[in-house]
Amino acid sequence: MMLETSTAGAPAHTRHRLAWLDQLAYELFRVTGRSQLMQCLWLYDRDVNRAALVQTYERLTALSFNRLIESSPLPWGRPRWVKPAAGSIPFEQSSDLLPRSQLLQWANRQARAPMDPVIGPAGRMAIQPFDDGSTAVSIVGSHLLLDGMGALRVIASAVNGTGVPNPYLPKGARGRLSGCLSDAWQILADAPQTVAALARIAHANWHRRAAPEKGPAFAAVEAGHDPSTIVELPAVAVTVESRAWFACEQRLGGGMSTLLPGFVASLASSLGRRRCSDGAVSLLVPRSRRRGLADERALAIEFHMMNVAPEGLTKSLEPVNAARALLRGARKSQTDVLTSLLPAIAWMPRTAAKTLVNGLFDYSDELPVSCSDLGMLPEGLARIDGAPCRHLLTRAVDVNVSRQDLERSHGHLVVVASRYDQKVSLCIEACQLHPTPTTADELRLLVARTLADFGLEAVIDA
């Protein structure tokens, strides 16, 4: 995908604008109100060094993580990154003790606190002591600001005292006239790509009308349910010893990093997320394409689809080995399909952007499952208070999710994996709507059964 970032000598109308993929994500947020967040949790066996944490917080607010989106004053202008007011990332320091068993409930409350990438705040930081003497630190941010790997690198740079200072103009600093002129030039500069993208969309729609009709991309919400009802998605956090994890991978004949997709495919099968056509599980696998800390894109990633037959994975990971080999040989990603259409985003009705994404991932057939492996976490990330923490979790959190959204996607399953200090962590967010929405206890039991099927012992927080 084209790298859209600013340089010192770039024309004014090109500076700090959102890349097209970021703009698409922004438009979807405006249509649905659904927030996709990332959260990093540090757990210490002691009280934390609050002075060092304040220093990390101050460094973080001075970096590009602390930014907001400002819409263009023109109807078809592109939004831009701006600098918010000072202290726009709230920092909550609680002194009230909570039971240690409530770690994930506290983390969920932090993630569900008000956040907005336009009016702010778009991120939060918090400290929470527990009754066993441990302390947790949480940082939550919107995916409209950065993807997971980008956020981890920025936080690590704040811990290490490095990074790229916030380069953006304050919100509203351009002035309406200056903003209109600058954005008008941007519209003219984008015009050739915009026209070509609109032509491709029109051509695709013409051929779609000529083709036989497929089934609906989403099911109607069942009678008796309010489609606007907000559903809180249950989540669990799993911790497995690295030695046991890699021994299981080797025992099942898997290659490097094949146990995760095998585990996720088995879990997805138990949740009914299998393709209608052949019963396979479609794993949506992101790959980072970030080019250093100066890369301004929020979503510097590509999405690839890996199809895995879930039968027998607890006995052999050979189907995953084969699927990974096909994935390595694939020349096109799901993101590539979008790339040529993105310049038309600003000219499309917001609901049309949602339809475009629904068609791309074809929820009626594929039932995609997000499977993200962050690998070994960046050096220095664990020392957020100046010394290494005991445990480190990274997870994805979806909030303000309507029942209608879940009916459209036939449920939900997102798994984020990472490694730190001889431990593999899996943070799982999932929901199956029928016959009734999945509860946290039900998800915990289902995950425990899947772990047992693979012969893995783990600690599960829910």
Domain assignment of residue 201, yes or no: no
Domain assignment of residue 293, yes or no: yes
Please check whether residue 183 is in contact with residue 333, taking contact to mean a CB–CB distance below 8 angstroms. no
pLDDT in tens, 102-145: 999 999 999 999 999 999 898 999 999 999 999 999 999 999 99
For 290-349, where are the E strands, in sequence order? 301-308
Whether 276 and 158 map to the same domain: the answer is: no
Whether 251 and 392 map to the same domain: the answer is: yes
Domain boundary residue, one of 190, 217, 251: 190
423-431/230-231 β-pairing: unpaired
Q: Which residues pair with 39 in a beta bridge?
A: 140, 395
Domain assignment of residue 47, yes or no: yes
Whether 64 and 160 map to the same domain: the answer is: yes
Domain boundary residue, one of 190, 209, 243: 190
Q: What is the pLDDT of residue 187?
A: 79
Residues near 292 by beta carbon (within 8 Å), at least 6 away in sequence? none
* C-alpha–C-alpha distance, residues 108 and 280, integer Å: 32
Q: By residue range, what is the domain housing residue 120? A: 20-190
Of 5-9, 13-17, 424-428, the least confident: 5-9
Domain assignment of residue 209, yes or no: no
Whether 67 and 168 map to the same domain: the answer is: yes
pLDDT in tens, 395-421: 999 999 999 889 888 899 999 999 999
pLDDT higher than threshold 90 for residue 154: yes
Whether 150 and 249 map to the same domain: the answer is: no
Closest CA relative to residue 239, chosen from 65, 390, 59 = 390
The CATH number covering residue 105 comes to: 3.30.559.10
Q: What is the pLDDT of residue 215?
A: 43
For 201-360, where are the E strands, in sequence order? 230-231, 235-241, 281-288, 301-308
pLDDT higher than threshold 60 for residue 6: no
Domain assignment of residue 128, yes or no: yes
What the block records as the tokens of 109 is: 């409350």
Please check whether residue 392 is in contact with residue 421, taking contact to mean a CB–CB distance below 8 angstroms. yes
Whether 329 and 247 map to the same domain: the answer is: yes
Q: What is the pLDDT of residue 196?
A: 80
- Average pLDDT of the chain to the nearest whole number: 86
pLDDT higher than threshold 50 for residue 216: no
Q: pTM of this prediction?
A: 0.89
How many domains does one find in the chain? 2
Q: What is the pLDDT of residue 87?
A: 61
pLDDT in tens, 29-77: 888 888 999 999 999 999 999 999 999 999 999 998 899 999 988 888 8
Whether 25 and 147 map to the same domain: the answer is: yes
Residues near 214 by beta carbon (within 8 Å), at least 6 away in sequence? 364
Go through 14-24 and write b for each residue having 16 or more CB atoms within 10 A of its CB, e for each that does not.
Answer: bbbbbbbbbbb
Domain assignment of residue 59, yes or no: yes
281-288/301-308 β-pairing: antiparallel
Q: What is the pLDDT of residue 359?
A: 59
Domain assignment of residue 450, yes or no: yes
Whether 148 and 274 map to the same domain: the answer is: no
pLDDT in tens, 243-280: 999 999 999 999 888 999 999 999 999 999 998 888 99
Please check whether residue 381 is in contact with residue 195, taking contact to mean a CB–CB distance below 8 angstroms. no
Domain boundary residue, one of 129, 163, 190: 190
